[in-house]
Amino acid sequence: MNDRRGLSVVQPPAHTLSTVDGLTALLIDYHLQTEAEKGRPVADAAGLPDRYRVEAEDPDRAFADAVVLVALDGGTAVGCLVVTAPVDGRLEIKRLWTDPGSRGRGVASALLDAALAHAARSGAHTVRLSVWQWRTGAVSLYERFGFAVTPSWDERAELVCMERAVDDPATPCTGQGSS
């Protein structure tokens, strides 16, 4: 059972992402872990590829056209997720990450619930995402939320692409997973 007490999911106002306590650390941790898993470990944010380093250095600029959802516990970010703007009726979920110390409390599920609710309100008909195949826990979580593997739109090896239809805004999301 997930203990979501004290947990809230918010969409910080535009141009305030860099002020969210803990968000930069989450983005750095996400990218450092991903680079390590790809066999290209780097010591700190300065060693990240430019396109990833800018997300930590200036999330407001990096995600200017996206919605960033942040899971807060006592005012500190313990999880994050980025939703791109719809293109041709599709939007994409990126950067879902939960602080390792907060896993098992339903943080990722709460973020996905909020992202799917946002997708329904946005008028998109499809939500898509990509995940590294070795992140089996994440793949299982996405499957519990109704995502299915689809032909890849990305050329990177070992990347699994998934999609699901957007529910009617009046229908609650039912992803009962944990993370």
Residue (of 55, 7, 10, 11) closest to 29 by Cα position: 55
Amino acid at 42: V
Please name each of the domains of the chain with its CATH number: 7-165 (3.40.630.30)
* Vertex 54 angle, CA 123 and 50, to 5°: 115
Strands 148-149, 90-98: pairing is unpaired
Per-residue model confidence as pLDDT tens for the chain (179 residues): 456 678 999 999 989 999 999 999 999 999 999 999 999 999 999 999 999 999 999 999 999 999 999 999 999 999 999 999 999 999 999 999 999 999 999 999 999 999 999 999 999 999 999 999 999 999 999 999 999 999 999 888 899 999 999 985 544 455 543 33
The reported pTM is: 0.90
DSSP conformation class of 146? T
Structure tokens at 74: 């006592």
